[in-house]
Amino acid sequence: MMDYKEKKVMSIGIVRELTGLTERKIRYYEERKLITPFRSEKGTRLYSFSDIETLISISQKVEKGAKTYDLRQEMRKQEAHIRKDLIKEQVNAHFGMKPTIKRPYH
Amino acid sequence: MMDYKEKKVMSIGIVRELTGLTERKIRYYEERKLITPFRSEKGTRLYSFSDIETLISISQKVEKGAKTYDLRQEMRKQEAHIRKDLIKEQVNAHFGMKPTIKRPYH
DNA sequence: CGTGTAAGGAATTCTGACACG
DNA sequence: CGTGTAAGGAATTCTGACACG
């Protein structure tokens, strides 16, 4: 029972309170693929603390005039970078090559 | 927006899924003062990840034959100890006395 | 494009109580 | 004592749509 930040456990009502956004906005940002709540068996949306933070960040940017489409593109890029780093790590782990950061023995 | 473990954000349905307990049991352990969910404005219970862990622990002990009353007493004792430690720390902080653990300079 | 709202239905949660033992 | 269940009401959530611009 770990990784509290990523676990999808909150229904939309509490998300509304925590973010101060309307349910309409929360669902709209999902429609624009900026967040991806989990769906319970019966279909209710479940969000994580991480989703809350993302929502707050999104709404601030939208208020400043950002387009949801552009925010989506930004997120895609970030995800690509993360994936690249993961692959690099995996390659390093597999071949046992020089570490990215050298640490002197002491 | 921190301290995810203690934040009361989950409604009873997700708690049921996460713990495997029935709603009846979850509410009963509250009645016996073993957990204290937060109440939203409209009266729905809200639980934290910490509550989830407590519930799992409680139910395991009850299955083994423990009485909820005794579990309550145990918890009271633990809380008292924690309070004592806090007071000790505050006294130390106030008078700036010798630290509990001495660290050599190096 | 981003958001509000009214609409109707389905699923959730709540309380107090009766039951068993 | 710990837990199941049926009961009725109140609050929640969901979807698709119309509206404005």
What pLDDT was estimated at residue B82? Answer: 82
Give which of B36, B101, B21 is closest to B75, Cα–Cα.
Answer: B36
- B79 band by pLDDT with thresholds 50, 70 and 90: confident
CB contact under 8 A, B1 and A40: no
- B2 band by pLDDT with thresholds 50, 70 and 90: confident
The nearest CA of chain B is from the CA of A62 a distance in Å of 20
CB contact under 8 A, A40 and B9: no
Q: Which nucleotide is nearest to A30 (CA to C1')?
A: C2
- Reply yes or no on whether the pLDDT at B48 is more than 80: yes
Burial of A12 (0-12, 13-18, 19+ CB in 10 A): middle
**pLDDT per residue over A10-67, tens digit each?**
999 999 999 999 999 999 999 999 999 999 999 999 999 999 999 999 999 999 999 9
pTM equals: 0.84
What pLDDT was estimated at residue B104? Answer: 52
Instruction: Give me the residues paired with residue B39 across strands.
Output: B45
Residues in chain B whose beta carbon is closer than 8 A to a beta carbon of chain A? 1, 4-5, 7, 9-11, 13-14, 17-18, 40, 46, 49, 52-53, 56
- DSSP characters for B47-88? B-HHHHHHHHHHHHHHHTT--HHHHHHHHHHHHHHHHHHHHH
Number of Cβ atoms within 10 Å of the Cβ of B75: 15
CA dihedral (B25, B27, B30, B36) in degrees, to 10, reads 130
**pLDDT per residue over B4-23, tens digit each?**
999 999 999 999 999 999 99
What pLDDT was estimated at residue B83? Answer: 73
| Cα–Cα distance, A54 to A51 (Å, whole number) | 5
What pLDDT was estimated at residue B13? Answer: 98
Average pLDDT (B70-95) is 82
- Reply yes or no on whether the pLDDT at A1 is more than 70: no
Cβ of B67 near strand D (distance < 7 A): yes
Average pLDDT (A75-83) is 87
Of B1, B46, B49, the CB nearest to A4: B49
What are the E-state strand segments in A17-105?
38-39, 45-46
- The percentage of residues in chain B with a pLDDT greater than 90, rounded to a whole number, is 71
Residues in chain A whose beta carbon is closer than 8 A to a beta carbon of chain B? 1, 4-5, 7, 9-11, 13-14, 17-18, 40, 46, 49, 52-53, 56
What pLDDT was estimated at residue B94? Answer: 67
For residue B38, the SS3 value is strand
Measuring alpha carbon to C1', the residue closest to nucleotide C13 is B44
Burial of A75 (0-12, 13-18, 19+ CB in 10 A): middle
**More reliable by pLDDT, A89 or B1:** A89
Of A1, A10, A56, the CB nearest to B9: A10
